[in-house]
Amino acid sequence: MQADIHGTGSMWSAIGPRRALGSHGGGARTRAAGVMLTALALGGCALHGHQSALDPAGPQSGRIVSLWWFLIIVSAIGWLAVVVTLAVGAVRAERSPDSPERGTSPEVEHRLHRRIAWAVAATVVILFVFMVLDFRTGAALTRAPAVQPLEIDIVGHQWWWEARYADSSPQKSVTTANELHIPVGRPVVLQLRSSDVIHSIWIPNLNGKKDLIPGYVRSVWFQADTPGVYRGQCAEFCGDQHAKMGLVIFADPPQKFAQWLAAEQSPASPPSASMAERGQAVFLAGSCPLCHRIAGTPAQGGNGPDLTHFASRTTIAAGMLPNSRGVLAGWVLNAQQFKPGVKMPPNPMGSADLQALLVYLEQLR
């Protein structure tokens, strides 16, 4: 994950100084665009292929990428044909001296009309083929899975993802945030809701985008055939921190997934040492329980991520920051400096309380 974070960071810092785009001349604009493109390219490299629509890890993304390559290759051939025709015409016009009859004789006119008619017909046929293939891909993507899928309820929030793995016995239902675990080789259906504004879930290695619309339940399904860690991203502008609304998908072999699920279904680890006990007291006495839930404790808030197994997650802040002690300390003290506008308020506290709180959070495995 480290690489992901660096990649996004470089992109963010490059896009940050937007003034350069607006207030200076063309040179500054070109430079800024250059920096952005370089940063985007570097960001792409740093992702190690984990977030790429061109690197499919399942049947849905495989279909999308096949359609993409067909469209891009046929369009490139069409573009080349237009450019070559233009160039040939320009060279011919240059070579032959101006003659008043040129292009006006009936045979020449007729020949030109026929060529234009052929070109229009070819364009219509190509666009029609594109449309049919597009419909066919769309239909294949929405066809219901053939085997019993794993269902995950997803709720989009400004700016994080809540995920719930329901179970027939309520105590075994798992609620987590921003990191999904899925078994490879089995269809996964996401039931999508939003708690506030329109978001869009996009995991390019696995499928296309699907909007989360307040007041509606929508669904999308995909399957991962290649184990790996994939990155998703909110793909619909949803407010200040839209760009920092990421998620991480761990596609694990079925046995490893079952182990993860069993661990998440178990109750939160109680504080095992006096330091962690003090940390729990700090957590419960502060404003944390108003928004966060830790199963088995009085903290039952539902506005922020469920922290029952917080330490099992590799990232915080919706996939944007590593879940390490230093970063977490900064986040707890003032999340606003990382994600201005995020609902988590600053939590000023003494260093002993902070250390204890961090110890407590780190043992919530």
Q: List interacting residues with ligand CUA (CB under 6 A).
A: 156, 159, 199, 234, 236-238, 242, 245
77: its two tokens: 């051939």
Contact (CB, 8 A) for 202 and 235: yes
Smallest gap from Cβ 320 to ligand CUA, in A, equals 13
- Would you say 236 or 306 has its CB closer to ligand CUA? 236
In the bound complex, what is the minimum distance in angstroms from residue 280's beta carbon to ligand CUA?
Answer: 32
Going by C-alpha positions, the residue among 314, 80, 339, 44 that lies closest to residue 204 is: 44
296: nearest Cα among 304, 284, 305: 284
Least distance in angstroms from the C-beta of 208 to ligand CUA: 16
Which one, 245 or 307, has the nearer CB to ligand CUA?
245
Nearest to ligand CUA of 159, 221 (CB atom): 159
Of the pair 162, 264, the CB lying nearest ligand CUA is at: 162
Residue closer to ligand CUA, measured from CB, 308 or 315: 315
Give me the least distance between CB of 201 and ligand CUA, in Å please. Answer: 9
Report the C-alpha gap between 329 and 319 in whole angstroms.
Answer: 16
Nearer to ligand CUA, 161 or 331 (CB): 161
Residue 242 CB, nearest distance to ligand CUA (Å)? 3
Percent helix, percent strand, percent coil in the chain, to nearest 5: 50, 15, 35
Written as six digits, the tokens of 133 are 């293939």
DSSP SS3 for 28: helix
In terms of CB distance, is 154 or 238 closer to ligand CUA? 238
Give Cβ neighbours of residue 18 (< 8 Å, ≥ 6 apart). Answer: none
How many CB atoms lie under 10 A from the CB of residue 17? Answer: 10
The smaller minimum CB distance to ligand CUA, of residues 63 and 231, is found at: 231
CA 45 to the chain's CA centroid: 16
CB of 218 to ligand CUA, least distance (A): 15
Burial of 15 from C-beta contacts in 10 A (0-12 / 13-18 / 19+): middle
* Least distance in angstroms from the C-beta of 235 to ligand CUA: 7
Q: Which residues contact 348 (CB under 8 A, 6 or more apart)?
A: 333
Find how far residue 53's CA is from the centre of its chain: 11
With b meaning 16 or more CB within 10 Å and e meaning fewer, what string describes 292-328? bbbbebebebeebbbbbbbbebbbbbbbbbbbeeebb
Residue number, 43 or 271, with CB nearest to ligand CUA: 43
H/E stretch holding 316 = strand 315-316
From the CB of 255, what's the least distance to ligand CUA, in Å? Answer: 33
Smallest separation, CB 3 to ligand CUA (Å): 23
Residue tagged 């390019």 (tokens): 204
